[in-house]
Structures are given as structure tokens and as C-alpha cells.
A and B are shown apart, each in its own frame.
Chain A
Amino acid sequence: MTRISVKVDGTTYEDEVEPRLLLIHYLRDRLGLTGTPIGCDTSNCGACTVDLDGETVKSCSVLAVQTDGSEVTTVQGLATNGEWHPLQTAFHERHALQCGYCTPGMIMAARGLLRENPHPSADAVRHALEGNLCRCTGYQNIVRAVLAASEASASSPASASSTASGQEVTT
């Protein structure tokens, strides 16, 4: 067992963990933070994407012991004072999710993109999400949502009213 101290979504946890414990299992099974799901065992699907010290990572490919002293943000830590993150709003408004299983990872990956590139092209969005698989949406509305969130943060927070393709979405 190894002792670790990790801050997750603003709360610091100290735990004894087996070295082999994966970060995703630490979050889900030990901390009860089940908002981040597991979709594969080869780090292809990205469903488990979280933010580790300011960078997106696949939490199935990080050991909990490696996060000792680090700060982790999951999809459950995005909303502030009950206000959704612009990406959460955009995913809802653009119908960028169906079953929603990939959504936490998609939102975290998109958040990582917008941090590095606040105004990406549609093509850049697609490439930034290449490590996140969705089986429901065909990705088109996910791309729209990320672009809308990018526009929303560029202007006022609540101004995302039209999509890249000009399709009207009633809200």
C-alpha cells in the first residue's frame, strides 16, 4: 500500500492505495465519483478522460499513486455555484449527446482543447477529439457544441444561438 494525497474536484483526499490501483477505479470505487465512466481497456475510447494538473489524461492509463500531490478535475467538478460550464450547456443545447456515456470524457477533452485553442476550426475540433469515441451521435453535433461553446466564451456567456452550419435549434 502506498499513501497518496490527491485533490479531486476541490476536495483533498488522503488514502492508502495498492500501487496497481488505476486512477479511474480510485475515483469511482474509492471516492464514489462515478460521473467518470470506463469504456475500454486499451485507452482508445476516452470515456474516462479527466483533467490532471491542468492537462487532459485518460484516467484508465494513470495509476492512482502517480497522482500523489496532484489535482484532478472530473466532469463532476465543472459546474461552479450550480452554473454549468459553457461546454455542458452547449452539449445540451446542440444535442451533442444521446446515451451520454462518452459525454464526460468528450466534455473534458473539449475543455482541454479550448484551453489551448480557444477558437478552433471544425477540423481542429475533430482532431482534438480523436481519442474520444462516441457510438451515438456521429460526432456532428459534438463538433457543433464545441464550436458553440467556443463562440459563447468569446462573446457573452449566454449568446450561443446559432451553430456553425446555421441550423436553428430552439431553446
Chain B
Amino acid sequence: MIPPAFEYARPASVDEAVRTLADAGEDAKVLAGGQSLLPLLRLRLAFPELVVDVGRIPSLRGVCEDGDSLVVGAMTTHHDVIADPLVRRHAGLLAAATATVADPAVRHRGTLGGSLAHADPGGDLPAVALALGAELVAVGPQGQRTIPAREFFVDYLQTALRPDELLVEVRLPKTDESAGWGFHYEKFSRVAQAWPMVGVAALVRRDNGHIAEARIGLSNMGSTPLRASATEEALAGAAADGVARAAQSAAEGTRPSADASASPEYRAHLARVLTRRAVLAAAGMG
């Protein structure tokens, strides 16, 4: 319940934050919304020497458009993401999935950037970022770089971010419903506030009653969020009757773990069932 002692810095700008991180080296932790970091500290599972609170950097918060992309500031809270009209219009999958994260109080503090940088494969949003083809923009001492979501998630709780880099924004290609996109996040958890045993983020572009393109992100099916690539390929051009067959390959290439709630086999089975349901719902074929 009681965190270990640490130093605290509250930079006012991204530059200051990056400088602070660079000076501190490996022993610094970025505090975003704190909804994952604080529990880790309280259970004494993390011992940072310095906590860098980026909660007072105004430029990190908010949503805007940039051509065909939607830009979500890393420190935009889940609550604000859900309510944001631009997110709803251009990245409905993100809004829908974010609404299932934890509970309202946690969503008031937790942030999109924080959830992605935490990189828990059992989180809801990493798989969503993967399905949406998000690009993650990081700033470090050498300047800014853009990391595609498929390269961002490296391993369990590990990202491509370097210790001196700060995730500043998340860029999402627009997936408007008016352009034929449909979406659904199918979360399967044992109790309402639990993390998903398996989650399936489905994004589908429809064309004349067929599925033109499908992108499926899987939560908790390995040490990183994963795409159900085989199913995505099988869905290209499929009609409603082809969805079930395509979903049969949803667990291909995954490496789900075992825990008290589920065996790997059961997780794989769930991935197939939930993928079918998510795709049908996303495509309006359910």
C-alpha cells in the first residue's frame, strides 16, 4: 500500500521532460495517469529513483485532426477520449474499446499514452492501436521519431521507447463509418472490472455487402498485442457466410499464456469465437 521513496519532477514542457529523463537515465519512470504505475509502486513491484510527472504539460492533452490522421495527445485521458467527437467520428473503435477500460474513476486519470507505453498485452488499448494501425510519436534528446504500432510493442511490458524518450502523441489513420468502416471491440472478462481474458478489436471496411478489408487486434494472446493476420487475409472479400471460417484461424501464430482463469487452449478457442462475433458485429452482419 505504501510506495517506496522517490524523487519527483514535474516538467512544464516536453523539452524539459525529455531533458529530465535523459539526465536520470534508467532509474526514472514517467508518470502519466498513474493508474498502472501507482499500483505497481504501492505493491512495491517498481522502485524508480525519479518519477517524472508529465501531467502538467498542456500540449500532451487533446485531440485534433491532421489531414487523414487523427492525433490524440498522449496524456488525453480515457474519459476524454470516449467523449471526444473527433475520436467518435474518426476512430470509433478507440472510443468503444476505451469505454471498456477499468472503471469510470480510473478512466478519469488513465491516459491513452500511458496505457500504450505500459504495454500490457492484457490491456485493451494496445490491441486497438495495433488494429487501427496507429503511429506513436516519441520525443527524445535526438528529436522526434514516429514508431508504427506493430514495432512499438516489443515484449511483455516492453516498448520500443528508449528510457529518455517520451511518448507525445498517437496518430490514427481515420476510419470513418462514412468511408465504410465498421468496428467492434469484443472483450471477454470474468468480472466487469477485470482485464480481458481475451479481447478482440475488429475493424472492417465494407464494400457492397462484402468485407473489403479487415484488421483484427488481439489482447492477451501473447506477450504483446497481436494481429490475427491469417483471419484478416481470409476475410478479404468475404461475405457473412465466410466470417466463421475465417475466424477459425484467429489464434494462428499466437502464444497465449495459462493462468488461474484460462488455459492456452481455451484462450485460443475464445480468440476464434470472439473474432467471429467481433467481425460480424463490426461488419453489421451479426
A residues with CB within 8 A of B = 2, 18-20, 22, 25, 38, 41-44, 46, 49, 52, 55-58, 60-63, 65-66, 109, 112-113, 127-128, 130-132
A19 touches B38 (CB 8 A): no
Closest-by-CB residue of B relative to A48 is B105
Q: Which residues of A contact B51 (CB under 8 A)?
A: 19
Beta-carbon contacts under 8 Å, B92-117 to A: 102-106, 108-109
**How distant is A75 from chain B, measured CB to nearest CB, in Å?**
14
> Which residues on the A side are within 8 Å of B103 (C-beta)?
46, 130-132
Within 8 Å by CB of B193, from A18, A56, A131, lies A131
> In the complex, which of the residues A19, A22, A41, A65 contacts B43, with contact meaning CB atoms closer than 8 Å?
A41
Minimum C-beta distance from A113 to chain B (A): 7
B-side interface residues, number (CB < 8 Å): 30
A108 (CB) vs chain B CBs: closest residue? B105
Contact A66 B193 (CB under 8 A): no
Partner of B1, one of A41, A52, A58: A41
Which of A19, A43, A63, A131 is the one whose CB lies under 8 Å from B7? A19
* In the complex, chain A residues whose CB is within 8 Å of the CB of B43: 41-42
List residues of B (1-33) whose CB comes within 8 Å of A's CBs: 1-8, 10, 31
B39 at the interface (CB under 8 A from A): yes
User: In the assembly, what is the distance between CA of A113 and CA of B108, in Å?
Assistant: 12
Chain A interface, DSSP helix/strand/loop, else mixed: mixed
Query: Does B264 reach chain A (CB closer than 8 Å)?
Result: no
Given A22-B3, A55-B79 in contact, is the A61-B39 Cβ separation under 8 Å?
Answer: yes
User: Nearest Cβ distance between residue A123 and chain B, in whole angstroms?
Assistant: 12
- Most central of B2, B3, B105 by chain A CB within 10 Å: B105
- For B105, give its contact among A19, A56, A127 (CB under 8 Å): A56
Contacts of B193 in A (CB 8 A): 44, 130-131
In the complex, are the beta carbons of A43 and B6 less than 8 A apart?
no
Q: Which 9 A-B pairs have the closest CB atoms?
A: A131-B103, A19-B8, A55-B108, A130-B192, A41-B1, A20-B3, A56-B105, A61-B38, A130-B103
Q: Is the CB of B34 within 8 A of A66?
A: yes
Would you call A38 and B1 a contact (CB within 8 A)? Answer: yes
B159 lies within 8 A of chain A by Cβ: no
Tell me which of A19, A41, A62, A109 contacts B109 (CB under 8 A).
Answer: A62
Residues of B contacting A41 with CB < 8 Å? 1, 39, 42-43
Q: Is B55 an interface residue (CB 8 A)?
A: yes
CA distance in complex: A60, B2 (Å): 10
**With the chains together, A130 CA to B100 CA distance in Å?**
11
Question: Once the chains are docked, how many angstroms separate the CA of A43 from the CA of B5?
Answer: 20
- Max chain B Cβ within 10 angstroms of own Cβ: one of A41, A60, A63, A127: A63
The interface centre, meaning the residue of A20, A42, A44, A127 with most chain B CB atoms within 10 A of its CB, is A20
